[in-house]
Structures are given as C-alpha cells and as structure tokens.
Homo-oligomer: A and B are copies of this chain.
Amino acid sequence: DYQHVQVPFEITLWIMLASLAKIGFHLYNKLPSVVPESCLLIFVGLIMGGIIYGLNDKSPPVMDSDIFFLYLLPPIVLDAGYFMPSRPFFENIGTILLYAVVGTIWNVFGIGFSLYGICQVKAFRLQDVSLLHNLLFGSLIAAVDPVAVLAVFEEIHVNEKLHILVFGESLLNDAVTVVLYKLFRSFCEMPTIKTVDIFAGVGKFFVVGLGGVLVGLIFGMTAAFTTRFTKDIRVIEPLFVFLYSYLSYLTAEMFHLSGIVAIIACAMGMKRYVEANISLKSHTTVKYFMKMWSSVSDTLIFIFLGVSTIGENHEWNWPYICFTVIFCLIWRALGVLVLTFFVNRFHVNTITGKDQFIIAYGGLRGAICFSLVFLLPDFHRKKLFIAATTVVILFTVFIQGMTIRPLVDLLAVKRKRESAPTVGEQIHIRFLDHLLAGIEDISGHWGQYYWKDKLEYFNSKYLQKILLREYDQPKSSIVLLYEKLERKHAIELAEAGQLGHAPSHPSLLCSVFLCSNNDRTVIKDKKLEDTLNPDILENIQEILARNLYRIRRTGPAYNRHTLPGETEPVEHAKEILILRHKSL
C-alpha cells in the first residue's frame, strides 16, 4: 500500500539521504578540510540526478520553488537570525545596507545592461532577448545567496567584521531582489511602461523592507510575551520560538513583503526576552533543533541543486553564459571597490584591500537564484536563462567556494579570534559604550551609541516589564550550584552546633571560600580566624558590612539614567535595617 504513505515516506527518505551524506563526508577527515561541504553535496546531487536520468530516461524532478521558499529556506534564515552576533551587525548596519541596497541595484543594472550590449552582437544570435528580459535576468542573478555564503564562510573563519559584512548583505538584499524581480516581471507583461510605475517601484523598496521588519518585530514581541506564561508547561516552550518566527515569515510572504527580513527581525527581537523566560533545557532544545533543522535544510537544498542541474531544460549558448559569469565577477568587484571607497571616507576603522577582495570574491550565488529562474513566466529563452543561472551557481560554489580558503590563507586575512573575550575586556567595552553615549549626548551628536543607549533605556523601562516573567529569573547552573553548596554548608554548620555564637561575616566568607576552593591554604585562614579576638571580629564585620553597602549603593551610578544620591535617605535607613536584620 505504497500510495497511502508515499508523501511522508519520500520526504523522510530524502532527509535520511541528506543526513547520511553528511555523516559520510565527516567519516573521512581530510575531505571536508579541502572541499566545502556544499560542493560535495551538489556533487552527490549530480550523481543522483544522473542515476534518475539514466534509469527513467527523462529529466529528474526539479526543486519545487514552493517547497524551497516555504519549507527549506525559513529554517536556515531563522538559524542565521537567531545566532546573528548583534553587536558587529548593528555596528556595521550602515555599510551592510549600502552593500545590500545600492550594491545589489548596481549589480542588477550593470549585469542587465552589459548583457543587453552582448545581445546586440549579431554573431551571437541573441538579438531576440530584450532589455527588460536582460534586466529581469540581472535581478535574479545579482543577489548574493545567504545559504551558499553561510556554508562557505562558516568553514573559513574570517574575522567577525568581514563575515558580518558579506553575510548581512546576503540576508538584507532579499528585499531589493524581491522588489526588482517582481517589478521587471510585471514590466515584461505590461504593454507600455509609464514613469509612475518606476516611481512606484522605488517606493516599494521601503514598503517591502520596512514592512518586513515591522511584521518580524510584532511577531517577535508576541512570542516573547507568550513565553511569559509557560512556567507550568516548559515542554512546549521551544515550540513558540519556531511557530512565531515561521508565522512572521509566512505573513510577510502573504503580503508580498520580504520574508527573510521579517524572520530575521523576529528572531533578533525575541531572542533576548525568550532566552530570559524559558528554562535552560528548553533553550538547549531550541538552539540544538534550530541548528539541526537548518543543517538539514541546507543539505537538502544543495542536493536538490545538484539533482535539478541534470536534465534537458537547458539551452546552451556559449557567449551569453560566459559573459554572464564574467559580468557577475566584474560588476561585483567594481561595486565593492566604489562603495568601499565611500564607506572608508566616513569611518575610522576602514575596510582594507584584502577585505575588499574577499567581500567581492565571496559573492556566491545559490538556490535562491535557481528557484527564481524556475518561477519565471514561460517565454522562448527561459531555458537559456536556466542554463546561465546553473553555470553561475556551479562556478561560484565550486570554483570560488573551493579557492576562497587557500586565498584567505595566502592573503593572511585577519582571522576570527579563537578565545572568548575576557571579563576585563567585556567590562571595558561596556564602560566605553557608556562613556561614548555620554560624550555623544553632551556634544549633541546623535550617533550610534546615543541611540543604542536610548533603546536600552526604553527596553529596561517598558519592554522588560511587559515581556519578561516577573519572578524567578532563570539562573545559570553555576549560580544554582553555588547556592546549593552554601545552603549545604550552612546546614552542616548548624548541625555541628557552631551557629550558637552567631556566625561572623568573615567566617561565612571564609567557609564559602573553603567550599569553593578545597585548598589547604584556606585551613590556615580558618585557624587565624579562631585565634582572633571576638571584639576585633565584630569590628571587622561592621566595617565590611558598611563598605559592602556603600559599593552596592554607588553601583547604579554606572547607569546614565540614575544619579548618585538619587536614593532617598529613608530608603537608605531601611536598607541598613534590613541588612542588620539579615546579619543577625
């Protein structure tokens, strides 16, 4: 009864094949270090496509664009958005947007017009390809693909800034691609094009992009709000993260907004609140499942790319295909050079020549182009476009993807630092942030730090109160362990009858120290304490208690929104009373 179970059975088998292929590559340790996984997967796809083609004698099924956009792409983008390092992203948001918007438009028109120029050469027999068709082709071939970029850049470990520039561009150019692609497609079907249509197209940019952000943020905040109430049923917490982000993607797609932008905004918006609300185990599950899902989607996409390449839906035309590859390379290189020139004039931390080369060279094309070209309306040169797109994708993924790692080594591009930042560094970064926000505030320059600080203030004052659960903030395991140890020690002390003469602060501190250190040197301190006069101890205790209070009181002054001495004297007295009460 195969008919009955066909759909789920075949889906499961495809996923299984993808997973097994992944395991297979990793069994041979040398292979993945030379060839990127994406290439290997496309290769597996090519072989499978060849087998299907050989057995059935007809073209194997191509990747359905609906399946790609509705089921395979969202997990990857969600994963990318959720694990996006927000600090470098927002620090470079201007540059990223410039590359994503202006750079992509530059590439689209550059490639479109120059290919139209090629079509005018009579010897190539391409005179029937109109300018609009060339621009349409340019709009789908120009966009850098996030899936392909992620697959390659995750393996070569370049520095954070370079990574976020290429990757951020590949994500955010979706809005531009969607608009241009749809614009040119509708122009192709229109008899005449009016000027007003072109202006409407420009206006659409903002609607599609900002609309996506809005939809994403709304769903993200709703998700955060929902997880406030899951205290009693921890087990469905991870579900909400997936459901809301998927809904944001679908809603954006429904209104013809940019789904990719929406899901990224949703993931980045909810991350911090959801993480604070859900349990540690739920969070492990969310992270793990996201990685797993995106990894499987990724694998499936590359395998399908390979399978879909085989078949008879290609029309081969040497000049058009070769010039497409060449123009893709040239226009991207030119675009990066020109845009970086402007960016560097306004930044202290400039983008070096090496970085520019990697940015230009890392412009990989992938499954999005492929799906878009199949979505084209039928016209007589569609097969030529499919062939050209396939060649560009294979060229970028294979040739550029395989050579980028040696090039990074050769150019000695700055790598990602291996170790996590130390506590000292973190404190200094935080301190400098506050300092710069203050300087910007005083100088009246509303820069990046000023807005960041305002946002942080708004967040702590309003958003957190609505979105975060009020009580029991989840504690990290180390804090829980520490509390447990302290409680245990207190019980032991009480059982040993040592609490009779009121434990002094230093002895408590000391015993905590003993708890955590297990060292013989502590024992000496213990003896030292025993030999001290109780009066002196009392004295030390008082000094310590007062100082500890003072430290705690001056603590909030680090925050720009409270002034030192803002706390009322009545509160002060009350707190000291509470403190005393506790210490007795």
Binds B, one of A132-140, A225-233, A265-273, A324-332: A225-233
Interface pair B253/A4, CB less than 8 Å apart: yes
Contact A288 B282 (CB under 8 A): yes
**Does A563 reach chain B (CB closer than 8 Å)?**
no
Instruction: Chain B residues near A4: list those with CB within 8 A.
Output: 66, 253-254
Is A505's CB within 8 Å of the partner chain B? no
CB pair A250 B22 closer than 8 Å: no
Mark each residue of chain A from 230 to 260: 1 if its CB lies under 8 Å from any CB of chain B, else 0. 1011011011100100110011011110000
Tell me if A292 counts as interface (CB < 8 A to partner B): yes
Query: When the two chains form their complex, are residues A250 and B518 in contact, meaning their CB atoms are under 8 A apart?
Result: no
Residue A479 at the chain B interface, CB threshold 8 Å: no
**In whole angstroms, what is the CA distance A138 to B492 when docked?**
65
Complex contacts, A20 vs chain B, CB 8 Å = 226
Whole-angstrom distance between the alpha carbons of A489 and B1 in the complex?
64
Are A12 and B281 in touch, CB under 8 angstroms?
A: no
**Nearest CB in chain B: distance from A462 CB, A:** 23
Q: Are B291 and A233 in contact (CB under 8 A)?
A: no
User: Shortest beta-carbon distance, A108 to chain B, in Å?
Assistant: 23
Asked if residues B229 and A23 are in contact (CB atoms below 8 Å), the reply is yes
Measured between alpha carbons, how far is A537 from B74 in the docked complex, in Å?
A: 67
- Interface positions, chain A 467-511, Cβ under 8 Å from B, are 485, 489, 492, 496
Contact between A12 and B284, CB atoms less than 8 A apart:
no
Residues on B with C-beta less than 8 A from A232 are 26, 29
Tell me if A346 counts as interface (CB < 8 A to partner B).
no
Rounded to whole Å, the gap between the CB of A3 and the closest CB of chain B is 9
Chain B residues contacting A236 (CB-CB under 8 Å) are: 19, 22-23, 292, 295-296
Instruction: Tell whether, in the assembled complex, residue B26 and residue A296 are in contact, meaning their CB atoms are under 8 Å apart.
Output: no
Minimum Cβ distance to chain B for residue A19 (Å): 5
**A343 on the interface (CB 8 Å rule)?**
no
* Sampled A-B contacts (20; CB under 8 Å): A1-B254, A4-B253, A5-B70, A9-B247, A9-B251, A12-B247, A16-B243, A16-B247, A19-B239, A22-B233, A23-B226, A27-B229, A29-B232, A238-B289, A281-B284, A282-B288, A284-B284, A496-B520, A514-B518, A523-B523
